[in-house]
Amino acid sequence: MFDFLLDPAQLTDFLSTGLRLSIPLIFAAMGGLVCERSGVFNIALEGQILFGAFGAAVGAYFLGTPTGGLGFALLFGALSGLLLAVLGITLRVNQIVIGIAVILFSTGFTSFMSRVLFPGSGNSLKLQGFGPVAIPYLSDIPVLGPVLFSQDALVYVALLTVVAVYLVLFKTRIGLSIRAIGENPSAADSAGVPVFRLRYACVIAGSTLASLGGAYLVLTQVFLFSDNMSAGKGFIALAAIVLGRWQPQLAFLACLLFGFFDAFQLRLQFNHPEIPFQVFAALPYGVSILALVGLMGQAHPPAAVGRPYDREMR
Amino acid sequence: MIKHIVKLAAIAALSGFAAFPAAAQAVKVAVALPGVITDKAFNQNVHDGLVKARETLGAEVAFTENVSQAEQVEVMSDYARRGYQIVVGAGGEYTDAAKRVATRFPKVRVVVLNGAPTQGVATVNFKNEEFGYVLGLVAGRVTKTGTAAAISAQQFAAFTTAVDGFKAGLKAAKPDGDVLVAYTNDWADVAKAKEATLNLISKGADVFMPYLDAGWVGVVQAAQERNAHTVGILHESDNNLTTARLDFARALVDAIGLFQKGQLEAKDYRIGLTSTDQLGPFNSAVPEAVRQEVQKAIEDIKSGKLNPAKG
């Protein structure tokens, strides 16, 4: 059953698959985490991945370069973040409701527009994507080299994002302010922290990060756009945030857990045709439930998350 | 009040007279689709059938895309309530929903494409094992490693019978060959289909039969990147060694035609592999001798000399 772990070539393939399946989750989870740490629920991650994927396809198709695709993905992500921020922070609409609205809107909008913009719809595209970048010397290490150090550029970006989010949130003054407005916005406000501006910045930055997950799907994984290609990854990222107890490093591990179990599941199936495949498909979710109830203790979300800040409210 | 009713009746009669002659002929057909009509695979094929039925039979057609498992009964019942005479569930996963809708609306003819035979429902099936056998035969002649693989989203009857045929065909060409099977759990997830394929390649497979909706693109991409081959069963692509054309478009048009003649019954219709034009063009990687072998296999299946489920 685990014989593939002993063969270096197969082990490399397994680990690379796991990492590749984790990357969109990592982007989305980091984006969602930044939003929630600042006190705003971002349920729309699923839609923002889709927007990112669509933007990447539009940019790469019309500008002909992967960088153009990346630019458009970021733009679409930022716009969806702005929409969330205006509705959720300024107009104080229920943040769960607007999240769902953005998801529904993204599904319809991208399906419709991809039929209008791309000849023969998005799944016949052959877009220009990013190629693998091998890091000298490090990529020659057996197993770990090909898995970690000869990946596509966006994989490195994802890993650096985790470090960056951690450093910004916990090692800088602005990170302290972000965490403060997520816990007690009125206290932060009275200490002179610009609550509204900072929440806007976090939501737009977080949404942009989530859209990178979609850009990754299009620009380094499949080079085309297909309807609904986010396929539930945004919701898994939400679970990863909770599983990681709103800590970037733990949420990162949770994403890896989901990604590797997915890869594991794809591998186990054909070794054991007599076991129903659904068992393996459900494995990552089973593990996350176990982790939630048993291993990680009680999860404490940021105290002010989901509650729009109103200076006049007592 | 009475005046009002008379007036309404008059309007109804008038509009009825105006509209009725056309409405009497136009059969109303609605289809619930699991995916999107641009997937270049099953959903698109079924949609083509609807378009053809509108053009050739003058049918009035409607469809809903992306109908999830939970919405199947609701969507199909809604069409039945709105007076659609034929309500189609596109795919074997609609069988349970179809049965419930057929019980609730006995006047509506409920059809399931690729569904297991069900009481009260007309099911249209291809003899998947026959198509699978021929694809397996071609795969077995082209494979270098002796290992082929089949990929689908979920385990269901049409797929497993196709795989049985595929295995038998492969073993006819390579007695010590093997067929691996993987499920991605998502018909449209291109990225996951691609990863599944890459993993199967590292397990030694070099010919792939994807049985997916939009996800098939991922399988073809992975195969191209690693110099492996694909055979098609629901999708057509230049990279396929050959393609089994499960022409659901034609099957749907034929079913609607039968309905117009009052002959579409609630029974299982099975469409076999009888001629080479049910196969797509051969790729240049398929030698001439193999093409003739395929021709002969089709004739043997037709004459009953060959049992494609056993080899």
How far apart are the C-alpha atoms of A119 and A116, rounded to whole Å? Answer: 8
CB contact at 8 A, A99 and A305: no
Mutate which of B189, B194, B225, B235 to test chain A, going by most A C-beta atoms within 10 A? B189
- Report yes or no on B276 lying in a domain: no
The answer to whether residue A9 neighbours chain B at the CB level (below 8 Å) is yes
Task: Categorize the per-residue pLDDT at A170 as very low, low, confident or very high, splitting at 50, 70 and 90.
Answer: very high
The answer to whether residue B26 neighbours chain A at the CB level (below 8 Å) is no
* Residues of B whose CB is below 8 A from A278: 185
The answer to whether residue B36 neighbours chain A at the CB level (below 8 Å) is yes
**CATH number for the domain that contains residue A169:** 1.10.3470
The answer to whether residue B232 neighbours chain A at the CB level (below 8 Å) is no
Same domain, residue pair B77 and B153: no
Same domain, residue pair B240 and B252: no
Contact A266 B182 (CB under 8 A): yes
Same domain, residue pair B216 and B107: no
Same domain, residue pair B58 and B134: no
Domain range for B158 is: 128-245+281-303
Same domain, residue pair B59 and B132: no
pLDDT digits (tens, 9 = 90+) for B157-169: 889 899 999 999 9
CB contact at 8 A, A28 and A237: yes
What is this model's ipTM? Answer: 0.83
pLDDT at A79 (0 to 100): 97
Same domain, residue pair B83 and B181: no
What does pLDDT average to over chain A? Answer: 89
pLDDT at A272 (0 to 100): 62
The answer to whether residue B123 neighbours chain A at the CB level (below 8 Å) is no
The answer to whether residue A115 neighbours chain B at the CB level (below 8 Å) is yes
**CATH number for the domain that contains residue B49:** 3.40.50.2300
Residue that has been written with the tokens 């049992």 in this structure? B307
Task: Categorize the per-residue pLDDT at B307 as very low, low, confident or very high, splitting at 50, 70 and 90.
Answer: confident
- Report yes or no on B70 lying in a domain: yes
- For B221, which residue in chain A has the nearest alpha carbon? A222
The answer to whether residue B151 neighbours chain A at the CB level (below 8 Å) is no
Q: Can you say whether residue B83 is alpha, beta or left, with left for phi > 0 and alpha for psi between -120 and 50 degrees?
A: left
Contact A121 B38 (CB under 8 A): yes
**What is the count of residue pairs from A and B with beta carbons less than 8 Å apart?**
98
Contact B191 A221 (CB under 8 A): yes
- Report yes or no on B6 lying in a domain: yes
Report whether pLDDT(B19) > 80: no
pLDDT at B9 (0 to 100): 46
Same domain, residue pair B150 and B288: yes
* Residues of A whose CB is below 8 A from B66: 227-228
pLDDT at B170 (0 to 100): 95
pLDDT at B13 (0 to 100): 44
Tokens standing for A199?
Answer: 């929440």
Report whether pLDDT(A293) > 80: no
Same domain, residue pair B154 and B174: yes
Number of domains in chain A: 1
pLDDT digits (tens, 9 = 90+) for A253-290: 999 999 998 888 887 765 566 777 777 778 777 877 77
Smallest CA–CA distance, residue A113 to chain B, in Å, is 13
Contact B217 A229 (CB under 8 A): no
Number of domains in chain B: 2
Same domain, residue pair B61 and B197: no
Contact A17 B192 (CB under 8 A): no
- Report yes or no on B309 lying in a domain: no
What does pLDDT average to over chain B? Answer: 88
- Report yes or no on A19 lying in a domain: yes
pLDDT digits (tens, 9 = 90+) for A76-134: 999 999 999 999 999 999 999 999 999 999 999 999 999 899 887 777 778 888 888 88
How far apart are the C-alpha atoms of B95 and A140, rounded to whole Å? Answer: 53
- Report yes or no on A309 lying in a domain: no
Amino acid code (one letter) for A275? I
Domain range for A38 is: 3-295
Nearest to A227 among B191, B192, B214 (CB): B214
- Report yes or no on A100 lying in a domain: yes
Same domain, residue pair B107 and B186: no
Same domain, residue pair B293 and B158: yes
- Report yes or no on A202 lying in a domain: yes
The answer to whether residue A17 neighbours chain B at the CB level (below 8 Å) is yes
Nearest to A273 among B181, B190, B196 (CB): B181
pLDDT at A311 (0 to 100): 85
Report whether pLDDT(B242) > 80: yes
- Report yes or no on A302 lying in a domain: no
Contact B188 A231 (CB under 8 A): yes
Contact B39 A226 (CB under 8 A): yes
* Residues of A whose CB is below 8 A from B184: 266
Same domain, residue pair B169 and B299: yes
Smallest CA–CA distance, residue A41 to chain B, in Å, is 26
Contact B202 A273 (CB under 8 A): no
